[in-house]
Structure 1
Amino acid sequence: MDYINITIETLFGFVALFIMTKVLGKSQITQITAFDFIAALVLGELVGNALYDPEVGVLDIGYAILLWSILIYTTEIITEKFKGTRKLLEGMPSLIIYKGKIDREQLKKNKLDLDQLQHLLRSKDVFSMKEVQYALLETDGTMSVLKASQFQNVTRDDMKLTPEEVPLPRTIISDGEIIWDNLLEAGFDEAWLERQLKAQNYNEPKEIMYAEYTDGDKQLYILSM
């Protein structure tokens, strides 16, 4: 193994990538869009494979980095100058929850299921779907959440509850299917669930996209299909 050539190529690749990130800006580091993420992956593969290929020299590495940088920089200029290209090249945020209602079409469009949606909400310290007024799926895959007014700025200290005493929301129905374990953990049975559904003018679980129960609530929180 030629350690001298590997050292030279590694140092060259390091310097070239450093210069590239300075020229292209922080978006390549933060990966604020799906395109940025893919660009970072491809660039890493180009440099990584080149370093350990004995047939690839410094000039080859430099050319690969330069060409890829030009392509990315050109794309950035295009999206900056021509607003109409941003939707195609960068994507657009998607409003997943609007006025407390889940947009099922947006879920399908973004390849999200309810479990993934709940995971994204929990990453924003939202454990109950009924707290959400608006939820926006950003182009980088993160979720921006605006809580309903009655749930804003409410903390455990405000509620004067210990962590063990904070009511835990349980998903009772997801995509029309009953989550039996959660129903039993909440201390209820199928007869109770049927009464709850009829009280809100539903005949069967398959009519419901999502339903949750929080200790202390008098009825299910339901989002229909």
Structure 2
Amino acid sequence: MKIMHLTIELIAGFFLLFIIIKFVGKKIINQITPFTFISAIVLGELLGNALYDHQIGILYVIYSMVLWGILLFIVEYLGQKSLWFRGLFEGKPSALIKNGVVDREELRKNRMNINQLQSLLRQSETFSIREVAFCYLEANGSISILKKPQYQKTTLQDFNLSGTPVYVPVTLIRDGEVLWDELKDLGFDEHWLKVQLSSQDISDYKDVFIAEWLEGDGIFVQTYQFQSSPSN
């Protein structure tokens, strides 16, 4: 009887887990954010504890997993609709190295030291800080690196060319909302942004899916109709 009971719970748990992952999204598998990492652990614990606790029946297994799946879906839905909610649950990247200089304050905010930063760099096949122009600590704890031109895989030294300045792209509009702090840091204002958008026949910020500025290459805009083009 116990074998039959366990078999039913396993089958129910298997298909519920499959449905939840398909329903919520693939992010929970890759554990892109701390929240999805914790959610995956809790989901596994809910199923595991329910299966091996003989006091818990199949209805409790179904109820706990369905409720957790609904909560996950609500969080993901709100994250798509609200930048504030997205930032709260997903966080945002931290620039640990800017223009080749380690930002000690950002290290402190992320409770990291220089040894840990160097370890992460080595894991990304970067063995010296001098090679790095920009380094970002992503929300899931991984790092993204933009190397200086002379240290990139195909280097300018191979062609006897002088080095050129390195710039990092800056997102100005995301999901129809202007990132005013980013715009201000670049030294631009709302009038400049409106001129840039109007040059591409865009009159409303809310029509913009993403707008990105790159020094020397201009602004890149993609609307919700998937129309995109660069402009200087």
Give the TM-score band, short-chain normalised.
Answer: 0.5 to 0.7
Runs of at least 5 residues in structure 1 that lack an aligned partner in the other structure: 159-225
List per-residue Cα deviations over 1:119-168 (Å, max 9, x = no partner): 1111211011100000011111111000111111158xx7xxxxxxxxxx
Alignment-derived partner of residue 29 in structure 2: 29
* Aligned length in residues: 156
Alignment-derived partner of residue 149 in structure 2: 149
Once residues 76 and 138 of structure 1 are traced to their aligned partners in structure 2, the CA distance between those partners, rounded to angstroms, is 18
Q: Which has the higher contact order (CA 8 A, sep 6+)?
A: 1
1:157-196 maps to which residues of 2 (within 5 A)?
Answer: none
- When the two chains are superposed, the root-mean-square deviation of aligned CA atoms in Å is 1.4
List per-residue Cα deviations over 1:14-73 (Å, max 9, x = no partner): 110001100011001000000000111111111110000001111100000110011110
Alignment-derived partner of residue 95 in structure 1: 95
Alignment-derived partner of residue 62 in structure 1: 62
Alignment-derived partner of residue 109 in structure 2: 109
Displaced runs of 4 or more, over 2 A: none
- Identity across aligned pairs (percent)? 47
User: Scaled by the length of structure 2, what TM-score is found?
Assistant: 0.65
Tell me the amino acid that sits aligned with residue 23 of structure 1: F
> Radius of gyration: which is bigger?
1
Once residues 149 and 16 of structure 2 are traced to their aligned partners in structure 1, the CA distance between those partners, rounded to angstroms, is 50
1:118 Cα offset (Å): 1.1
Alignment-derived partner of residue 17 in structure 2: 17
Once residues 154 and 109 of structure 2 are traced to their aligned partners in structure 1, the CA distance between those partners, rounded to angstroms, is 33
Alignment-derived partner of residue 74 in structure 1: 74
Runs of at least 5 residues in structure 2 that lack an aligned partner in the other structure: 159-232
1:41-52 maps to which residues of 2 (within 5 A)?
Answer: 41-52=41-52
Once residues 105 and 35 of structure 1 are traced to their aligned partners in structure 2, the CA distance between those partners, rounded to angstroms, is 25
Tell me the amino acid that sits aligned with residue 41 of structure 1: I
Tell me the amino acid that sits aligned with residue 50 of structure 2: A
